[in-house]
Chains A and B, each alone.
Chain A
């Protein structure tokens, strides 16, 4: 019941330009416009070598199609507004932050250390408090995955402080 009240409040109290049905089309059109601008920077093939259409023509047509269709959904949303979504919980932002942490650690320290860290943090903040299970997902399971890919499938993983110990 309280959720219903919250939804109604969220939908009705927001100004026009803060509504999902405005922001989402705006972002799509903005990004598409930037990409459309970029297509004008593509090299042009001289007419003598050009076969069919220029390399930029097809992406331009696609972007114009996306912009046109987005404008249609925007104008239609004025008549029939979208359902306003609930605010995202902190676990979402933690998970998203873990992705960034993984990017950093796997790039600069170690691929499997990145996986282990993400697994441990996500598991903990998603509600797992038993140490044995956190250790399982963050250490034992990545080791199993590593062995599977490395020995059975013959993959070589990027070098890093832990992976190099194995390879050396």
Chain B
């Protein structure tokens, strides 16, 4: 009962409500702008939060996180460029559906499933946070390694491309993550004598390059086609038929998203891809996926927004970020003198539950703003390609530069833009590259640390029950599409 009053506290604070509104609005704008998103936006706004008290600062960052994750779907659906990496899977069906003239329906489904996913995940957290945190806490390095491998093998069944090409792309993504100083020995790898590369290749330049810049190059080859620009008349609430088709998917993806989100170092991107993949697996019409399936949108969006709540658990309970954005939030907590960890639940429940309450309200707010404001954001797609893409280029370049204020990041973005164009041209999906890049450090780090624990004995991985389950699931995930589709 006491916790309930803490959860509802933000509703009775005009200051927190204003912060929530501004955070949600800002999050939506950041989510829509390619290359920015809640991670970069959160990092940029971090210094400004120093002028706020800790709860307002964290509420602002979490509102940006929730709304920004949803905002990415608007761009993903309307211009096939995910505003945030977590919306990458939304592109797969959102854009094709928008191309069919059903952008309003696609955005409506994305909005509803995002809100439901977000609300369910926060409710799950409120009631099961201690249990989930304890479960994740019991994971050791071998379990994380096995989990990351499972995440990577799921790549095989994502996208329209062949599973083998997806795996090559995934391996390429992991390879990118090895660039820079080796984190265990500080030995340079693939730096080619370039100082800027010793820090590794940033996530944002690769994402913006592979999605926005490669799309710009793709658009340059499609200038005579008339269906590239997708207009939005109005966001439409899903019909009864749509709800019938998707309610199971939304609930399933909300569960998947909450679970994946709670696992440290995972996040909305993996959650949305697994949510999408599972939606496809369970669908009565899997052949529609990649061609504008409403279930695909629901699966991806419910999962990535459910992951926002889940990702906050290890961040707050263990001090381990559940995603890139929660790493920024974690930094915000630390600079405000809040030490995340299990003690936070016991010593400052009002702070913790206040954040969960704010996340609930932020989900409702972005539903309202998204539903009524998406048309405004959608204006960007009414601009002709010959004007739109130069503007996206300007935003992408500045957004990428903003990350570490380095021109090298801009060169990297352009390089991956060209790579991404040719990958897409020859049937290699770029999404696995991003996933590989996200999981790369986790895979290598946990593998090497596990081998230290096992004293070099690889077979000991299979003596860990949880790790073994993930390995078996990986084999199933890897083999299933190959057997099912018989497609290379």
Q: Is the CB of B217 within 8 A of A96?
A: yes
Q: Is the CB of A69 within 8 A of B217?
A: no
Which of A94, A138, A145 has the largest number of chain B CB atoms within 10 A? A145
Contacting A115 at CB < 8 Å: which of B175, B386, B393? B393
A164 to chain B, nearest CB (A): 16
- Determine if B286 is an interface residue (Cβ-Cβ < 8 Å): no
Q: Is the CB of A55 within 8 A of B185?
A: yes
Q: Mark A79-92, 1 if CB is under 8 A from B, else 0.
A: 01010010011011
B47 to chain A, nearest CB (A): 7
Q: Is the CB of B386 within 8 A of A126?
A: yes
**Known interface pairs A51-B448, A66-B171, A69-B168; A137-B220 also in contact (CB < 8 Å):** no
Cα separation A99 to B216 with both chains bound (whole Å): 11
Q: Which residue of A lies closest to B390 (CB)?
A: A119
Q: Which residues of the other chain, B, contact A15 by a CB distance below 8 angstroms?
A: none
Cα separation A76 to B190 with both chains bound (whole Å): 31
Q: Mark A25-68, 1 if CB is under 8 A from B, else 0.
A: 00010000001001100110100011111011011001101100
Q: Is the CB of A95 within 8 A of B411?
A: no
Q: Is the CB of B389 within 8 A of A85?
A: no
Cα separation A145 to B167 with both chains bound (whole Å): 38
Q: Which of B12-20, B94-102, B248-256, B449-457 contacts A (4 or more CB under 8 A)?
A: B449-457
B224 to chain A, nearest CB (A): 8
Q: Is the CB of B407 within 8 A of A73?
A: no
Interface residues of B in 417-455 (CB under 8 A from A): 417-418, 425-427, 444, 447-452
Q: Is the CB of A127 within 8 A of B386?
A: yes
**Known interface pairs A73-B164, A96-B418; A58-B444 also in contact (CB < 8 Å):** yes
Q: Is the CB of B426 within 8 A of A82?
A: yes
Q: Mark B443-483, 1 if CB is under 8 A from A, else 0.
A: 01001111110001000000000000000000000000000
Q: Is the CB of A127 within 8 A of B223?
A: yes
Cα separation A137 to B417 with both chains bound (whole Å): 21
Contacting B175 at CB < 8 Å: which of A20, A63, A102, A120? A63
Q: Mark A105-123, 1 if CB is under 8 A from B, else 0.
A: 0110001000100111011
**Known interface pairs A52-B449, A80-B488, A89-B223; A123-B386 also in contact (CB < 8 Å):** yes
Q: Which of B71-79, B319-327, B396-404 contacts A (4 or more CB under 8 A)?
A: B396-404
Q: Is the CB of A55 within 8 A of B182?
A: yes
Contacting B394 at CB < 8 Å: which of A38, A66, A115? A115
Q: Name B's interface SS.
A: helix
Q: Is the CB of B394 within 8 A of A145?
A: yes
Q: Name A's interface SS.
A: helix
Interface residues of A in 111-154 (CB under 8 A from B): 111, 115, 118-120, 122-123, 126-128, 133, 136-138, 141-142, 145-146, 149, 153-154
- Determine if B189 is an interface residue (Cβ-Cβ < 8 Å): yes
Cα separation A113 to B120 with both chains bound (whole Å): 48
Q: Is the CB of B385 within 8 A of A126?
A: yes
Contacting B395 at CB < 8 Å: which of A28, A51, A73, A145? A145
Cα separation A89 to B217 with both chains bound (whole Å): 11
**Known interface pairs A58-B448, A126-B386; A69-B402 also in contact (CB < 8 Å):** no
- Determine if B376 is an interface residue (Cβ-Cβ < 8 Å): no
Q: Is the CB of A119 within 8 A of B394?
A: yes
Q: Which residues of the other chain, B, contact A49 by a CB distance below 8 angstroms?
A: 185
Cα separation A127 to B385 with both chains bound (whole Å): 9
Cα separation A71 to B188 with both chains bound (whole Å): 29
Q: Which residues of the other chain, A, contact B426 by a CB distance below 8 angstroms?
A: 20, 24, 82, 85
**Known interface pairs A53-B451, A88-B221; A45-B187 also in contact (CB < 8 Å):** yes
Interface residues of B in 22-58 (CB under 8 A from A): 44-45, 47-48
**Known interface pairs A122-B390, A127-B223, A138-B390; A52-B448 also in contact (CB < 8 Å):** yes
Q: Which residues of the other chain, A, contact B334 by a CB distance below 8 angstroms?
A: none
Q: Which residues of the other chain, A, contact B337 by a CB distance below 8 angstroms?
A: none
A48 to chain B, nearest CB (A): 12
Residues of B within 8 A of A (CB): 44-45, 47-48, 162, 164-165, 167-168, 171-172, 174-175, 178, 182, 184-185, 187-190, 216-217, 220-221, 223, 384-387, 389-391, 393-395, 397-398, 401-402, 405, 407, 410-411, 414, 417-418, 425-427, 444, 447-452, 456, 488
> Across chains A and B, which 3 residue pairs bring their CB atoms closest together, nearest first?
A119-B390, A126-B386, A52-B448
* Interface pairs (29), CB distance under 8 Å: A20-B426, A43-B185, A45-B185, A51-B184, A51-B448, A52-B450, A53-B451, A55-B185, A55-B189, A56-B189, A66-B171, A73-B165, A73-B488, A80-B488, A88-B221, A91-B223, A96-B217, A99-B414, A102-B397, A106-B407, A122-B389, A123-B390, A138-B390, A145-B395, A146-B398, A149-B402, A153-B45, A155-B405, A157-B398
Residues of A within 8 A of B (CB): 20, 24, 28, 35, 38-39, 42-43, 45, 49-53, 55-56, 58-59, 62-63, 65-66, 69-70, 72-73, 76, 80, 82, 85, 88-89, 91-92, 94-96, 99, 102-103, 106-107, 111, 115, 118-120, 122-123, 126-128, 133, 136-138, 141-142, 145-146, 149, 153-158
Q: Contacts A92-B220, A126-B223 given; 18 further ones with Cβ under 8 A?
A: A42-B189, A52-B184, A52-B448, A56-B189, A58-B178, A69-B168, A91-B220, A99-B417, A102-B397, A115-B394, A119-B391, A120-B390, A122-B390, A128-B387, A136-B387, A142-B394, A145-B394, A158-B407
